[in-house]
Amino acid sequence: MTVRAGVVVTGTEVLAGRVTDKNGPWVAQRLLEMGVDVAHITVCGDRPDDLTAQLQFLADQHVDLIVTTGGLGPTADDLTVATVAALYGRELHLDEELEQRIHAIVQRWRSRLSAATDSEPLRAGIRKQAMVPQGAHSIPPTGTAPGVAIPANDSETLPAVLILPGPPRELQTMWPKALDSAPIVEVLTRRAQIRQNTIRAYGLSEPDLAATLRTAERQITGFDELEITTCLRLGELEMVTRYAESAATAYTELAGLIDEHHGSQVFSIDGSTIDDIVANRLAGHQIATAESCTGGMIAARLTDRAGSSAYVIGAVVSYANEVKSNLLDVSAETIEEHGAVSERVAAMMAEGVLSRLGVDIAVSTSGIAGPGGGTDLKPVGTVCFAIASTERPTVTRTLRLPGDRASVRALSTTAAMHMLADALGPAE
Amino acid sequence: MTVRAGVVVTGTEVLAGRVTDKNGPWVAQRLLEMGVDVAHITVCGDRPDDLTAQLQFLADQHVDLIVTTGGLGPTADDLTVATVAALYGRELHLDEELEQRIHAIVQRWRSRLSAATDSEPLRAGIRKQAMVPQGAHSIPPTGTAPGVAIPANDSETLPAVLILPGPPRELQTMWPKALDSAPIVEVLTRRAQIRQNTIRAYGLSEPDLAATLRTAERQITGFDELEITTCLRLGELEMVTRYAESAATAYTELAGLIDEHHGSQVFSIDGSTIDDIVANRLAGHQIATAESCTGGMIAARLTDRAGSSAYVIGAVVSYANEVKSNLLDVSAETIEEHGAVSERVAAMMAEGVLSRLGVDIAVSTSGIAGPGGGTDLKPVGTVCFAIASTERPTVTRTLRLPGDRASVRALSTTAAMHMLADALGPAE
């Protein structure tokens, strides 16, 4: 049986486009992973009428579950709980134990900030956050805002609701406990077991994958039961398949067919990202980058991960030619002869940072991100890469990347990650 | 008079949380800037029933304008135009001139890719994209997908609709022409002249601003007519105020009050960002960065901008201590004595990159981004900064930044941008 959900994201900043919503996508992904179908995501400001209208819309669409994010703060414009309670005809009552709990959390924070211990507005805010609708289940707070789970009403004209706070870290930490609350468990037990698998390929075009999927449609029994979506992003083609247990054989056959046709381009069949793969393969290595057009983006991406200091030694961003010469030992003559954007210079940059920083693997970029600087021979988007290593000869490559400056830089960074993964080879 | 709009974002990838939507926020910002109120944003997948339900919901909410993004491609799952046309009871007809126009665009692209010139599926796709609902206005394509503007129906139970493509660059390029189409002009003429101003401050807390706003409420006549939203992001507090012409004096008084109370923290009153300000002030300078915990993020941010090669010379990411010594001349003894995360080391890093790269201003970071590496004395989030310059003594600063690794790194990068802006002082 299909369980359908709707997600309501609240917040004037999100509705006004000033803050990028992280909660809608995160909640949608978690729901889909556990076999719940997401039908609608809606965004509304801090206006109770608009929120009520969205909740009613989702109820009219017969979703089985509504998840709301945001609007649980201590101030007057945080009104999600009161608005939902009014729609469901459930009175709010003060949960005194919860009030004490929030009070303790707030006191701990304020003592750290050496702020005044107590005030009437502060107490009023805590009391507001401890108001729970009749018959609802409270979800313990990570910050100061508890979540609320409300069962569907008796006539089932209104679905179960899960109310969660807006700060993404609070929401994500509270998620497991929210799923354990009785009203949510009741909804989730009705869902069919759905599996979701992700295959990621690099350098595979959408039409080529589409051709393979047409072959699969002809050859594989039960192909119709696979719900496939594909998405191309920064040169990576991601194929997500959702299916019931009964279609597991069809999926296995599909995965086999894709491996047969595009095996050399597939880099992940278990959901791992290229960043996961590079990080795993870098264990025991020491890496440095020498970056021109990417301006530090590869180093920033490698050091995004906790624990990356075990293998990232450093980087040189050689935006100006003198830096290529002074810090990376690329001779001025080579730059003069081949141009800064050349495989020769990229090779010397990678070798320069390899030897200067004493690492065993290094990657370099030199390219024209635009909008200016392009020529007929080297148009905007031309990027040269090199991988230098203590173990084998330097490898170079040139790509012509499409799009604007931001696109060329992002595509270059991802390309460098894939070249690193290839150069490092499987771990173990 | 208030004109209310709803935005419908289509795309299974967006609904599933696999792609971050850029169109909803962009369109919302543009609408708000021109005085249109945005009531709802909804996201739906490539299912006509769900799209119809969302359009009907927005009509029921009495919005005056619906803007849809996405679903205009040549394939069968791109169904926005047909779905809207069906709801509005407008038959689709082939616009032959448009068909030829799209054909010419596609031919130009394919000849560049030296792809086969013509095929039946290709022609069918073009024909689909050239189908226009009866009485609708077509908006010339930037890519291959034309937009469509449809007036409200006669009974006004269905509002005007503007249908735009999903790729953000196509949508953004087509926007001005879309606003000029008759059905949209008709809606927009009904709106009141609304102004929108943004004040940005760094290091100002929300409660402090709230206190000033309470004072403003007491002191300023017409304060009620100002619609104020505030948003704290990476240490920057942004206050956006929307108001009718008639409340312009109240806004001027409010801006004056904020300047009086928080002038030293306000860095922008004209909508400019800290990146704009730093870029302007860097004209005529040469800059380099020496980064430890930010791992290249400051260099990457500075080089985000077209034309940054005029002033960005390069960067050294000195993740390992040996790089601090070898490339930045920070002595091993200093690191031993003060620790890598110290103002002394940060100062030497900035001075080292200043002299090595021959620039006149340099910024450095050395900190503990976590999750590991913290101590009682220097907990996770401790970050030391330095600004070295050929014109004045090195300035150092230590911050304790909250949150997880990503938060500490992002806050550090923004802090460095503000220190640079301060050190460079106003341009001219």
Instruction: Please tell me which of the candidates B28, B39, B317 has its beta carbon nearest to residue A296.
Output: B317
> How many other C-beta atoms can be found within 10 angstroms of the C-beta atom of residue A288?
31
Q: Is A292 helix (H, G, I), strand (E, B) or coil?
A: coil
User: Residue B67's pLDDT is what?
Assistant: 98
Given A151, A172, A188, the domain boundary residue is A188
Given A143, A170, A188, the domain boundary residue is A188
Tally the C-alpha atoms within 13 A of residue A242's C-alpha that lie toward its C-beta. 17
Q: Are B158 and B88 in contact (CB under 8 A)?
A: yes
User: Residue B218's pLDDT is what?
Assistant: 95
Q: What is the CATH number of the domain that holds A233?
A: 3.30.70.2860
Domain of residue A145 covers 3-188
Do residues B125 and B259 both lie within one domain? no
Give φ, ψ of B300 to 5 degrees: -60, -40
d(CA A107, CA A182): 30
Give φ, ψ of A207 to 5 degrees: -60, -40
Contacts of A367 in chain B (CB under 8 A): none
In the chain, the amino acid numbered B81 is V
Instruction: Look at residues B319, B312, B318 and name the one whose alpha carbon lies nearest to residue B279.
Output: B312
Burial class of B89 by CB neighbour count within 10 A (0 to 12, 13 to 18, 19+): exposed
Q: Are A4 and A36 in contact (CB under 8 A)?
A: yes
A interface mutation test: which of B289, B303, B304, B405 has the most A CBs within 10 A?
B303
Band (B119; pLDDT cuts 50, 70, 90): confident
Band (A96; pLDDT cuts 50, 70, 90): very high
Q: Would you say residue B56 has pLDDT above 80? A: yes
Least confident interval from A324-338, B53-67, B94-108: B94-108
Q: Would you say residue B80 has pLDDT above 90? A: yes
pLDDT tens per residue, range B362-414: 999 999 999 999 999 999 999 999 999 999 999 999 999 988 899 999 999 99
Structure tokens at B387: 């600004």
Contacts of B29 in chain A (CB under 8 A): 16-18
Do residues B16 and B86 both lie within one domain? yes
Do residues B207 and B158 both lie within one domain? no
User: Residue B123's pLDDT is what?
Assistant: 84
User: Residue A428's pLDDT is what?
Assistant: 46
Do residues A64 and A168 both lie within one domain? yes
Q: Is B309 on the interface with A (CB under 8 A)?
A: yes
DSSP label at A153?
P
d(CA A23, CA A234): 23
Instruction: Look at residues A83, A16, A17 and name the one whose alpha carbon lies nearest to residue B227.
Output: A16
Extended strands (E) in B101-152: 131-133, 137-139, 147-150
What domain count does chain B have?
Answer: 3
User: Residue B213's pLDDT is what?
Assistant: 93
> How many other C-beta atoms can be found within 10 angstroms of the C-beta atom of residue B140?
11
Q: What is the CATH number of the domain that holds B238?
A: 3.30.70.260
Do residues A265 and A317 both lie within one domain? no
d(CA A313, CA B317): 8
Structure tokens at B319: 């993740």
Q: Would you say residue B125 has pLDDT above 90? A: no
The average pLDDT across B45-63 equals 95
Q: Is B82 on the interface with A (CB under 8 A)?
A: no
Q: What is the CATH number of the domain that holds B306?
A: 3.90.950.20
Do residues B35 and B174 both lie within one domain? yes
d(CA A425, CA B292): 28
Do residues A19 and A157 both lie within one domain? yes
Band (A53; pLDDT cuts 50, 70, 90): very high
Do residues A182 and A244 both lie within one domain? no
Instruction: Please tell me which of the candidates B296, B304, B370 has its beta carbon nearest to residue A315.
Output: B296
Do residues B217 and B304 both lie within one domain? no
d(CA A370, CA A342): 16
CB contact under 8 A, A15 and B38: yes
CB contact under 8 A, B42 and A42: yes
Q: Is B40 helix (H, G, I), strand (E, B) or coil?
A: strand
DSSP states of B206-243 as a string? HHHHHHHHHHHHHH-TTGGG-EEEEEEETTEEEEEEEE
Do residues B71 and B163 both lie within one domain? yes
Instruction: Please tell me which of the candidates A17, A28, A291 has its beta carbon nearest to residue B16.
Output: A28
Do residues B267 and B294 both lie within one domain? no
Strand order in the sheet with B36-44: A137-139, A147-150, A160-164, A65-69, A3-10, A36-44, B36-44, B3-10, B65-69, B160-164, B147-150, B137-139
User: Residue A143's pLDDT is what?
Assistant: 82
Instruction: Look at residues B77, B35, B375, B2 and name the one whose alpha carbon lies nearest to residue B179.
Output: B35
CB contact under 8 A, B42 and A44: no
Instruction: Look at residues B124, B120, B136, B73 and name the one whose alpha carbon lies nearest to residue B99.
Output: B124
d(CA B234, CA A20): 13
Q: How far off is chain B from A148, nearest CA to CA, in Å? A: 23
ipTM entry: 0.87
Structure tokens at B32: 């708000």
Do residues A241 and A338 both lie within one domain? no
CB contact under 8 A, B315 and A316: yes
Q: Would you say residue A114 has pLDDT above 70? A: no
Given A155, A188, A221, the domain boundary residue is A188
b/e A176-208 (16+ beta carbons within 10 angstroms → b): eebbebebbeebbeebeebebbebbbbebeeee
DSSP states of A274-289 as a string? HHHHHHHHTTT--EEE
pLDDT tens per residue, range A339-391: 999 999 999 999 999 999 999 999 999 999 999 999 999 999 999 999 999 99
* Percent over 70 (pLDDT), chain B: 97
B interface mutation test: which of A241, A317, A365 has the most B CBs within 10 A?
A317
CB contact under 8 A, B40 and A54: yes
Q: Is A318 on the interface with B (CB under 8 A)?
A: yes
Residues 6 or more apart whose CB falls under 8 angstroms from that of A155 comprise none
The average pLDDT across B37-55 equals 95
DSSP states of B312-364 as a string? EEEEEEE-SHHHHHHHH---HHHHHHH-SSSHHHHHHHHHHHHHHHT-SEEEE
b/e A350-368 (16+ beta carbons within 10 angstroms → b): bbbbbebbebbbbbbbbbb
CB contact under 8 A, A312 and B319: yes
pLDDT tens per residue, range B285-333: 999 999 999 999 999 999 999 999 999 999 999 999 999 999 999 999 9
Q: Would you say residue A255 has pLDDT above 50? A: yes
CB contact under 8 A, B300 and A294: yes
Structure tokens at A349: 């940059």
Residue B383 CA, chain-centre distance (Å), reads: 27
DSSP states of A328-354 as a string? H---HHHHHHH-SSSHHHHHHHHHHHH
Band (B428; pLDDT cuts 50, 70, 90): very low
Tell me the pLDDT of chain B averaged across its residues: 93
The average pLDDT across A211-240 equals 91
Q: Helix axis angle, B120-129 relative to B96-112, nearest 10°?
A: 130
| Chain B stretch 357-416, residues whose beta carbon is closer than 8 A to a beta carbon of chain A | 357-358, 370-373, 403-406, 409
Better-scored residue on pLDDT, B120 or A331: A331
Instruction: Look at residues B371, B375, B425, B418 and name the one whose alpha carbon lies nearest to residue B397.
Output: B418
User: Residue B332's pLDDT is what?
Assistant: 95
Band (B55; pLDDT cuts 50, 70, 90): very high
Q: Is A135 on the interface with B (CB under 8 A)?
A: no
- Residue of chain A minimizing CA distance to B63: A50
Q: Is A187 helix (H, G, I), strand (E, B) or coil?
A: helix
Q: Would you say residue B421 has pLDDT above 90? A: yes
Q: What is the CATH number of the domain that holds A176?
A: 3.40.980.10
CB contact under 8 A, A15 and B41: yes
Q: Are B411 and B233 in contact (CB under 8 A)?
A: no
Instruction: Look at residues A393, A388, A392, A396 and name the one whose alpha carbon lies nearest to residue A367.
Output: A396
> How many other C-beta atoms can be found within 10 angstroms of the C-beta atom of residue B211?
12
